[in-house]
């Protein structure tokens, strides 16, 4: 089946939240309001994989003027291991390069063997010495 990767629209938000509920640990920013805010502030940051109208993948390619940040890379279970995660990441990288990002990072849960296997298969570098501090 052809899967198109395109910028998300407001109408996609419920499906994106559903995809995240099924594939990722919840975070405080998983809400329709937060996603609408993202679409307003940075249209094009949220990319979705659209399979004949079904949202089967997502990635956020965030640009703050300094670094590119990749968040919420997710592929629906039935569509995994067909290269869609790789395609989403490449589109995110392309978008970030286009807006001017020269350095990009992504947060990956170290205990998640599947996510680590995915990231290890990419040409991104793992930085074992770096820790993450969060608020909120």
Ligand X SMILES: CC(C)(COP(=O)(O)OP(=O)(O)OC[C@H]1O[C@@H](n2cnc3c(N)ncnc32)[C@H](O)[C@@H]1OP(=O)(O)O)[C@@H](O)C(=O)NCCC(=O)NCCS
Give the other-Cβ count within 10 Å of 97's Cβ: 13
Nearer to ligand X, 13 or 75 (CB): 75
Sites for ligand X among residues 27-86 (CB under 6 A): 73-75, 80-86
* CA diameter of the chain: 42
Instruction: Determine the Cα–Cα distance for residues 58 and 80; give it in Å rounded to an integer.
Output: 12
Does residue 127 belong to the site contacting ligand X (CB under 6 A)?
Answer: no
E-strand spans in 39-121?
Answer: 46-51, 54-63, 68-75, 104-106
- 114 binding ligand X? (CB under 6 A): yes
Rounded to a whole number of angstroms, the minimum distance from the CB of residue 107 to ligand X is 7
Smallest separation (angstroms) from ligand X to the CB of 105: 11
Cβ closest to ligand X, residue 63 vs residue 72: 72
Backbone dihedral region of 80: left (phi > 0), alpha (psi from -120 to 50 degrees) or beta?
beta
Task: List residues binding ligand X (CB under 6 A).
Answer: 23-24, 73-75, 80-86, 106, 108, 112, 114-115, 117-118, 121
């Amino acid at each position: 089946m052809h899967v198109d990767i395109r910028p998300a629209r407001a109408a996609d938000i419920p499906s994106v939240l559903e995809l995240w509920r099924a594939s990722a640990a919840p975070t405080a920013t998983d809400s329709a309001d937060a996603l609408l805010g993202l679409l307003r502030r940075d249209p094009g940051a949220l990319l979705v994989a659209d399979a004949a109208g079904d949202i089967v993948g997502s990635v956020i390619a965030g640009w703050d003027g300094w670094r590119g940040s990749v968040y919420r890379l997710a592929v629906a279970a039935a569509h995994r291991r067909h290269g869609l995660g790789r395609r989403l990441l490449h589109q995110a990288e392309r978008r970030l390069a286009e807006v001017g990002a020269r350095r990009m990072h992504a947060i990956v849960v170290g205990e998640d063997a599947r996510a680590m296997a995915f990231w290890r298969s990419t040409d991104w570098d793992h930085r074992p010495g770096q820790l993450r501090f969060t608020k909120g």
